[in-house]
């Protein structure tokens, strides 16, 4: 995870209503997302995730999408996106998403009862987004298998019904990103 670690160490931190928010290609596409980093991440997720029997990858709009795309290209497992807009389908499940700086609804479509679903996202901080998605899967009769994120922001305890793995962990200390590579 050399590229990921090096690039995170120089990520700027801005305030979003008092929340120290780091800005990075993985989480914001700022500066640009380059192919070697994207590839390193997709290979890293495929290595740490248990892909046996997984039918679908699920991510949240918007900044999980490029990681889910790369992972699908790496594994051939199709992905779905929980969107921030409703399509109004009868089978749609809406869940409330709360992060450290925002809240809204996420709408899950295209997952079937019995599907085994790997959840993937760019970052997990409070865990509010991934907890909401796990709830949507259970409501649909699908099975969340595990959560794998690129970056885990340590600090907030997260409460998820399945295991959470990250490629790296970060902390924000004195306005700067401090990175710990996970084994």
Ligand X SMILES: Nc1nc2[nH]cnc2c(=O)[nH]1
* Site residues for ligand PRP per CB under 6 A: 60, 62-64, 99-100, 102, 121-129
- Residue count at the site for ligand X (CB under 6 A)? 10
Distance (Å, rounded) from C-alpha 82 to C-alpha 107? 5
Site string for ligand X, 64-103 (x = CB under 6 A): -----------------------------------xx---
* Farthest-apart Cα atoms in the chain, separation: 48
Q: Are 54 and 77 in contact (CB under 8 A)?
A: yes
CB of 123 to ligand X, least distance (A): 5
Nearer to ligand PRP, 49 or 68 (CB): 68
Decide the pairing of beta strands 56-60 and 116-124. Answer: parallel
- Residue span binding ligand X (CB under 6 A) among the ranges 17-25, 65-73, 80-88, 140-148: 17-25
Task: Calculate the CA 112 to chain-centre distance.
Answer: 21
DSSP letters of 92-147?
-EEEEEE-SS-EEEEEE-S--TT-EEEEEEEEESSSHHHHHHHHHHHHTT-EEEEE
**Which is closer to ligand X, CB of 27 or CB of 166?**
27
Minimum CB separation of residue 144 from ligand X in Å reads 20
Residues at the contact surface with ligand X, assessed by CB under 6 A: 21-23, 27-28, 99-100, 123, 125, 153
């Amino acid at each position: 995870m050399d590229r990921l670690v090096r690039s995170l160490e120089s990520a700027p931190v801005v305030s979003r209503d008092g929340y120290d928010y780091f800005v990075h290609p993985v989480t914001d596409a700022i500066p640009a997302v380059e192919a070697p980093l994207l590839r390193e991440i997709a290979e890293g997720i495929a290595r740490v995730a248990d892909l046996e029997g997984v039918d679908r990858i699920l991510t949240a709009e918007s900044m999980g999408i490029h990681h889910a795309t790369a992972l699908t290209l790496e594994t051939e497992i199709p992905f779905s996106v929980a969107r921030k807009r409703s399509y109004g389908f009868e089978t749609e499940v809406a869940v409330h998403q709360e992060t450290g700086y925002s809240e809204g609804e996420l709408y899950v479509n295209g997952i079937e009862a019995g599907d085994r679903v790997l959840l993937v996202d760019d970052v997990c901080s409070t865990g509010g987004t991934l907890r909401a998605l796990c709830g949507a899967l259970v409501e649909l009769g699908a099975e969340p298998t595990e959560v794998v994120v690129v970056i885990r922001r340590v600090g907030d305890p997260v409460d998820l019904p399945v295991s959470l793995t990250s490629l790296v962990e970060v902390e924000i200390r004195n306005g700067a990103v401090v990175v710990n590579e996970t084994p």
